[in-house]
Structures are given as structure tokens and as C-alpha cells.
Amino acid sequence: MKQMGYTPDDWAGRPVIAILNTWSDINPCHAHFKQRVEDVKRGIFQAGGFPIELPALSLSEVFVKPTTMLYRNMLAMEVEELLRCHPVDGAVLMGGCDKTTPGLLMGATSAGLPAIFLPAGPMLRGNWKGKVLGSGSDAWKYWDERRAGKTTEAEWGEVEGGIARSHGTCMTMGTASTMTAIAEAIGMSLPGASSIPAADAGHIRMCCESGRRIVDMVWEDLTPVRIQTRASFENAIAVAMAMGCSTNAIIHVIAMARRAGCDIGLDDFEAASRKVPVIANIRPNGDTYLMEDFYYAGGLPALMNRVCDRLHLNALSVTGRTLAENIAGAEVYNDDVIRTVDNALYREGALAVLKGNLAPDGCVMKPSACESRFFKHSGPALVFDDYPSMKKATDDEDLDVSPDHVLVLRNAGPLGGPGMPEWGMLPIPRKLVRQGVRDMLRLSDARMSGTSYGACVLHVAPESFVGGPLALVHTGDTISVDIPARTIHLDVSEAELGRRKAAWKRPVSKFERGYGWIFSRHIGQANEGCDFDFLRSDFGAPVGEPDIF
């Protein structure tokens, strides 16, 4: 320590706080973390702690190939071991871009030290020619306009320039906004932290306050296991529903909860979906507002106050206080952005879990972001075995397809993708786009971005790569979806499915060495949260802190 210019006055008798910083030069969502980490340190020093910044895998959603989901568990492993192998007493977790939030929290939970999650904050509203642009959602929308020949190349360039006007995470109700809200609802962030725009001075103050608070959390021995209970995860699921969350929430919350020893599953989401209305009017659910508007309307504490009768108010948080104390007096300042329960955006159904012979272990749909005519739909399957052939076919003007077809993509799951890429919003065939078609029933074992929308059935489990029924669908088979009944059905006889199964051959593994080799052998299915089996909280004896000799 002296080699770095410190003396015992700097560290002796003080909590040593690791700051896990997921900044990188290629992560625009975390670009401000380079400065914000100094504000965290300021808070730690003020409270009598000693900060140590430790870089962690950055997982930039827009740049990491083939998908950040392949590496979420790698970040979780890195976090767990960083906290175990360094001489630290607590941690500030700096993340926000999609998989960084669950990755940081899963690792810190397994490490067991007091930890506080610091969200990167959403970026400012997008703007183009006076129109408000939302991350992802408007990219998909204007890309379809481009494919239909209604937007020029120059205009597309302007959309690119206007859609991301500051550092920070996607400002629609995508996976980033969903997961940071969930982190706060579980109790792992300061109240209101997840709603503050990244470019707001309030974000700087929140960073400093998080630094101050973690020092006290160490003295209080306020570990994740004391905060993360079944009640707190049920709170998180209820809040996710009220927010109109990304479908990715299901996978991450199941994985996070199981790290904390809580057996959360698809049924918990389905139950919450039935009783918690969507009250956050944020794109892609509504068509007007973004996270910046949500912050001005009162942010997450105000939303939680609106649905407080559906929450466990005695759940503990990083403040050391209960949820009831944290949200007391939180007001809504704009009833159109944060609706009342009686004037909800959708009465129920932010997410729907479907089951049937095509998905025995479940699949997921987001009714709040699709046209209601697809709530009950039957149509002939048009099947693609991989993404490149699907892309080529949907661009073919002569493709034999109608608006009633069900587009099916397989080999896009945890093993087949690999990593369940966000391919689930299959492109509408160009021929139909030109006719004005903007939504179709689509089905896959992939995920989709929280900023995506449409009648997309996702996370089909078991995935096709391991021989799930999705592997047995033929083009022309009839597929039926009934959202009110929560069913999905492939209209093929059991005998015929048996014949197809007998003829099915398992594809060759995607990896024969390296991290992918570990991934291939230990990844769980979507309904299990896609964690590695050997990282589960009940796998083997707990790992202790290393001895120092």
C-alpha cells in the first residue's frame, strides 16, 4: 500500500470498499462511470472508508458478440471471485447496461459481502425533427420504414444521431430500465436511484451517497442475504409488472433469486401478471413517454407507492429501513406518466407465461406490447433453422408468406444461439412490410430486447437445440396461441411427433474449448434462469474466504 502512496492512516480501522466498475471505452451506457467513480470514492472517504476501484467485465449490449447473455455468468463469476480474493469488506456495484445488473448482483450475492448497486441511469430523450425518439423501439420502427423505402439513407443517419444524445442506458422500458428498477425494488439500491437520468446532477449526488452508505452497511453487517428474501423478489416481480417490464426480467430474476436461495420460477411471474396492472406509461408499452419523463413524474418510489397494497412493505433495503419507510410520502407529479391503478395502461398482462405441447417448460409473451388481434391466433408455421437463412428469406420479395403465418426460428436458445441472442423479434418479411403489415405472430427459443415489441413468443423451453418440441415443427403445421388461456399448441398428433423425435439428430456442440466449453456443459434452460449449475446456491459446500498465511 505504501508503494501506492498510502500510509496506515488511510486504511487502518476503516472498512475497505471495493468499487466494481464496469466502465470501458466501448460501453456508451457506462461512459460516465470514469468520472462517477470519483464521486463514489468521495462518499466512501467522507464516511470513513477506504475505496479500491476494481474493473469488471463491461458487457456493452450493443458491441459484445454474439450476445452479452453468453457472458452474464462470466461477469457473475468474476464479481464473486474479485470480492473473495481481495481484502475488502463491502462493495459498490456500478452497472446498468442490461446484463451488467444481474451479473453484478448474482456475483455479489454469492460472495456474501455487504453490497450496494449503483445504476448508470437512463440517457436523455432522443430527438429527431422535433419528434421524441426512444432507444431501440424507434430504431426498429425507422429501420422498417427504411426497408419499406419510406425513409432515405440521409434521414436514417439523422435518426442515428438523434436517438442517443447522452451517456447512460436505454431510456425506453428496455432491459436496462427494467433491471435497475428491479435492483431497487429488491432493496439493493438507494430509493429513487434507478430513475435518475445519467446526465442529471442528481446522479452525481446519488453516487456520493451510495459511497457513504456502503461504509455504514459494513459496520451494520447488512449483507445481501438479509435484504434479498422471497418477499423482496416478489416485490421486484410486482414492480416489474407495474413498469411493463422487459421479458428478459424473467430469466434474470429467477437466476438472481436462486443465488439468494429463493425458489422463484415462471409461476411467480404469471401470478403477478394476473394481479398487477401496467401503470408506467413508458415506451414501448405506451407511445409517448420515456424514462426522463418517469423521473420527473416521481420515479420508482412514486410508482411503488401507487401499488403499495401489492408489495411486502416490511422488506428491508440497503438503507437499513423498510420499503414502507423508503417510499413514504413519494408523490406522483404526472398521472399520465405514472397512471393510477384504476386508469392503468393495461389491466393485466405485462408478461404472459404460456404452456402447451410446444413449450412444456413454458414460454413468454408480452401482450402489452403487441396488437390485441394476436391474443388468440392460429396460423401455419414458416420454419427457419438459423438466423442467416431466416434473414435471407424474409428479405426475399417472392417468399410464400401471408400475414397469418407464424414465423418460427429455432436453434436460438441458451445452447443453440448460443446465449439466447435477442433475435426473437423476427423481421416482418419485406414483401409484407411493403403491404403495410407491421406485426405478425413470431415464435422462437431466443430472447428479445426489452425495447422490442410485437406478437413475439420467446424463451420456448426446452430449446430446440436439446430436442425440445420446437425442433419437431415443420413448415405448414398449425400453431395456436391463446393468451387469455395461457396456452400454446402445435396441432400435430403425438404419434407423428414421436416419429419426428426418433428421426431428430442433436446438432454438434458449438464449442470444444475455452469459456464456451464450460458454458455448453453447465448452462441451464430459460425457465431456470440460465445460470450455471455449479454456481447455484445449493451446489456443494459454501466457498469460504481464503486463508492468509
Q: Which residues bind ligand FES (CB under 6 A)?
A: 29, 61-62, 97-98, 135, 169-170, 174, 176
Residue number with CB closer to ligand FES (29 or 297): 29
Helix, strand or coil for residue 43?
helix
Residue number with CB closer to ligand FES (121 or 362): 121
Beta carbons within 8 Å of 496's beta carbon, 6+ residues apart? none
Closest separation between CB of residue 168 and ligand FES, Å? 8
What type of residue sits at position 82?
L
In sign, the C-alpha dihedral spanning 30, 34, 35, 38 is positive
Other CB atoms within 10 A of residue 354 CB:
23
Closest separation between CB of residue 122 and ligand FES, Å? 8
Residue number with CB closer to ligand FES (90 or 424): 424
CA 126 to chain centre: 21
Helix, strand or coil for residue 54?
strand
Residue number with CB closer to ligand FES (29 or 238): 29
Question: Is residue 43 within 8 Å of 207, Cβ to Cβ?
Answer: yes
Closest separation between CB of residue 136 and ligand FES, Å? 7
C-alpha cell at 5: 502512496
What type of residue sits at position 218?
V
Residue number with CB closer to ligand FES (176 or 315): 176
Beta bridge partners of 266: none
CA distance 327 to 185: 11
CA distance 429 to 393: 8
Residue number with CB closer to ligand FES (90 or 103): 103
Other CB atoms within 10 A of residue 355 CB:
18
DSSP code for 269? H
CA 388 to chain centre: 25
Closest separation between CB of residue 178 and ligand FES, Å? 10
Question: Is residue 115 within 8 Å of 92, Cβ to Cβ?
Answer: yes
C-alpha cell at 9: 492512516
The per-residue b/e assignment along 13-31, b for 16 or more CB within 10 angstroms, e otherwise, is ebbbbbbbbbbbeebbbbb
Closest separation between CB of residue 99 and ligand FES, Å? 9
ω into 284 cis (within 30 of 0): yes
CA distance 342 to 361: 34
Name residue, grid cell 438507494.
Answer: 190
Residue number with CB closer to ligand FES (280 or 415): 280
- Start-to-end CA distance of the chain, whole Å, equals 18
Closest separation between CB of residue 175 and ligand FES, Å? 7
What type of residue sits at position 159?
V
Closest separation between CB of residue 135 and ligand FES, Å? 6
Q: For the chain, what is the total number of helices (H) and then of strands (E)?
A: 19, 14
Angle at 145 between CA 141 and CA 147, to 5 degrees: 115
Closest separation between CB of residue 62 and ligand FES, Å? 5
Residue number with CB closer to ligand FES (176 or 523): 176
Residue number with CB closer to ligand FES (26 or 85): 26
Residue number with CB closer to ligand FES (174 or 299): 174
Residue number with CB closer to ligand FES (29 or 280): 29
Closest separation between CB of residue 341 and ligand FES, Å? 29
> Backbone phi, then psi, for 131, in 5-degree steps?
-95, 140
Closest separation between CB of residue 275 and ligand FES, Å? 29
CA distance 493 to 501: 12
Closest separation between CB of residue 545 and ligand FES, Å? 33
Angle between helices 137-147 and 153-163 (to 10 degrees): 180
CA distance 539 to 524: 14
Residue number with CB closer to ligand FES (248 or 305): 248
Residue number with CB closer to ligand FES (180 or 480): 180
Angle at 386 between CA 384 and CA 389, to 5 degrees: 70
Closest separation between CB of residue 225 and ligand FES, Å? 28
CA distance 455 to 444: 11
Closest separation between CB of residue 176 and ligand FES, Å? 3
Residue number with CB closer to ligand FES (170 or 257): 170
Closest separation between CB of residue 185 and ligand FES, Å? 18
CA distance 146 to 148: 5
